[in-house]
Structure 1
């Protein structure tokens, strides 16, 4: 059995077995997500489900991967981000404190030589970042960590989109014969998928910031390792496409809040999933539609690795135009349509 299949199966089983116990633990510790004007659920739901994803990933990786320097850095950084998430799920950390924790986890990754030192342009020439490598890497990691965190607004949404993104990177890694990346993404997909059985609507538990930040962090870190091994820009474009939905939703939220004159970190009801609910979609319908969108973006990412640079550029331009058209139709940029938190 290939290691990546074994890693996926181990993570699925561990997450599936552990999550019921974590539900009971969250209830006992009072880690409950209470409904409010912005949230969709109507009664308190246990959070901390990310603990199951974290443990499932760690067990799967330790059983199937050699502990090289880059892997150790990834696991240590992931542990820090999980700890920050657990504290936040229990105590509701201020945004600035949570950001500092994310930066610390990114710095740990960089300290183990996992960083974006260079990329190649469409013509094959190398672009070296030199002294900008560390800040660019930290920005990349913190940025992707928060994109998954911000999309976690409907039952099963973040877990499903992260699973699709991880599988996309897994398939590209297999195409390029990067087995380490394949195993790591398989373990991540398995943990998220095993947890999804309890998180899909109607959710019995939420992953909380523990899970959403961990998934985003791991996807960011794994993609950097892939970029280092392939020395190609496409290694970073693939996760951007694979996580296109949460990345774009985050970008639109920043633009929307800036235009509305409210703090960028202030939550609202203007996210894509809120717009779909306002249009009359049920939670399940909205989530399934967003799965389909993520799947199409994932397929586009895979296609980018198989075509010439010219066709790849055309694909990227077509996707951008399609996204902007859809966003305009849904009023994603319109701050007046957002129902602000009280």
Structure 2
């Protein structure tokens, strides 16, 4: 019970710190004129500060360090976790997060070429296998179970880069990336509490805590009153990397934990991040089919489709969140009654049909 109290305290501290820091970030942004300037691809029509994500990493690091120390002093430290393994995983993760934080700030301030960003993301992704974390089982998905290291390690690095960029690219309208991330973090947090992996649960809920004040400014803040802010690449890269850490940790098969207890972790992880991940796949395939650069931004993401269908940005955000929640709920329930591969195929087919329907609605609206 003490662990739960400490996690709640860490969560509250993250909310308070975020609430204190973000107004100061706004002041600095206005004084130095650090804005996200609108263009033909962006939804907003007026310059908005874009350094909200600068808050995330320092607050997460502070809350995690302080309340981990509190756990140790209260003699309720790592129980189900192996201490050395835990420390290695968190130190390597924080190392990779530091690199992404630096390149994110640089990108938000002066811009960074995508090749350099990819290089830093690959180096950061390598931190997970160095700490001993990598995808080592598909739990029967496509008939695949255990995966050898020579396949699992590069697959893990690819997955980390993919998820990190998926969160970055879905950040196109107010509250979408942060809202989807919060839902995924809560799911992972609850799962880690269930398995008494308290340090991982603390990280998940601390991250939710720092997102909450940002979400209020991002979604409900007024541009006219100077109280609106975007997370920028600093924030989206931070959230994407932390989510990829949870995906790899939760999916890694450990003989001490029964497969049936994890309820197909690959599909559970896929379900909570399905919308941003499948949206990236769809957009990349579309660009490849049209022989366009895979890295040049456009207006073909799912939130752009909702806007074209006549949704307001806020209604689009809420609808996409609801759609994501429905996919997640279906997958988590269905894996108990159906074959894993069949559940995955149903998710992808439904996603594809929905987009075909969206395209038809958009075509009718343009006539």
TM over 0.5: yes
Contact 2:51 2:231 in 1 (8 A): yes
Residues 46-91 of structure 1, C-alpha deviations (whole Å, 9 max, x = no match): 1111111222221222133366111111112111111110011011
Ranges in structure 2 where 5+ consecutive residues have no aligned partner: 69-76, 78-85, 223-227
Deviates more, 1:202-211 or 1:224-233: 224-233
Match of 1:228 in 2: 252
| In 1, Cα distance between equivalents of 2:142 and 2:168 | 35
Root-mean-square deviation over aligned CA pairs:
2.6
Match of 1:80 in 2: 99
Match of 2:345 in 1: 317
Contact 1:26 1:46 in 2 (8 A): yes
Alignment counterpart, residue 306 of structure 2, candidates 263, 266, 276: 276
Q: Report the alpha carbon displacement of residue 271 of structure 1 after superposing the two structures with TM.
A: 1.0
Q: Report the alpha carbon displacement of residue 230 of structure 1 after superposing the two structures with TM.
A: 4.8
Match of 1:247 in 2: 277
Alignment of 1:59 onto 2:62: yes
| In 2, Cα distance between equivalents of 1:88 and 1:23 | 18
Pair member with larger Rg: 2
Alignment of 1:43 onto 2:67: no
Match of 1:141 in 2: 160
Alignment counterpart, residue 131 of structure 1, candidates 132, 146, 150: 150
| In 2, Cα distance between equivalents of 1:190 and 1:100 | 30
Contact 2:189 2:201 in 1 (8 A): yes
Alignment counterpart, residue 181 of structure 2, candidates 159, 162, 179: 162
Contact 1:148 1:158 in 2 (8 A): yes
Deviates more, 1:319-328 or 1:180-189: 180-189
| In 2, Cα distance between equivalents of 1:236 and 1:285 | 30
Q: Report the alpha carbon displacement of residue 274 of structure 1 after superposing the two structures with TM.
A: 0.8
Residues 6-31 of structure 1, C-alpha deviations (whole Å, 9 max, x = no match): 33222222212211111122333443
Match of 1:291 in 2: 321
Contact 1:169 1:238 in 2 (8 A): no
Q: Report the alpha carbon displacement of residue 320 of structure 1 after superposing the two structures with TM.
A: 2.2
The 1:175–1:230 alpha-carbon spacing in structure 2 relative to 1, beyond 3 Å, is: farther
Q: Report the alpha carbon displacement of residue 260 of structure 1 after superposing the two structures with TM.
A: 1.6
Contact 2:137 2:253 in 1 (8 A): no
- What TM-score does the superposition give when structure 1 sets the normalisation length? 0.89
| In 1, Cα distance between equivalents of 2:339 and 2:155 | 27
Match of 2:8 in 1: 5
User: In the comparison of the two structures, how many residue pairs are matched?
Assistant: 333
Alignment counterpart, residue 103 of structure 1, candidates 88, 98, 122: 122
| In 1, Cα distance between equivalents of 2:22 and 2:159 | 30
Alignment of 1:150 onto 2:150: no
Contact 1:10 1:59 in 2 (8 A): no
Poorly superposed stretches of 4+, deviation over 4 Å: 122-126, 229-233, 311-314
Match of 1:237 in 2: 267
| In 1, Cα distance between equivalents of 2:113 and 2:15 | 32
Deviates more, 1:105-114 or 1:115-124: 115-124
Residues 226-276 of structure 1, C-alpha deviations (whole Å, 9 max, x = no match): 233656583333222111111111111101111222101111111111111
- What TM-score does the superposition give when structure 2 sets the normalisation length? 0.83
| In 2, Cα distance between equivalents of 1:120 and 1:22 | 44
Match of 1:303 in 2: 333
Alignment of 1:89 onto 2:108: yes
Match of 1:189 in 2: 208
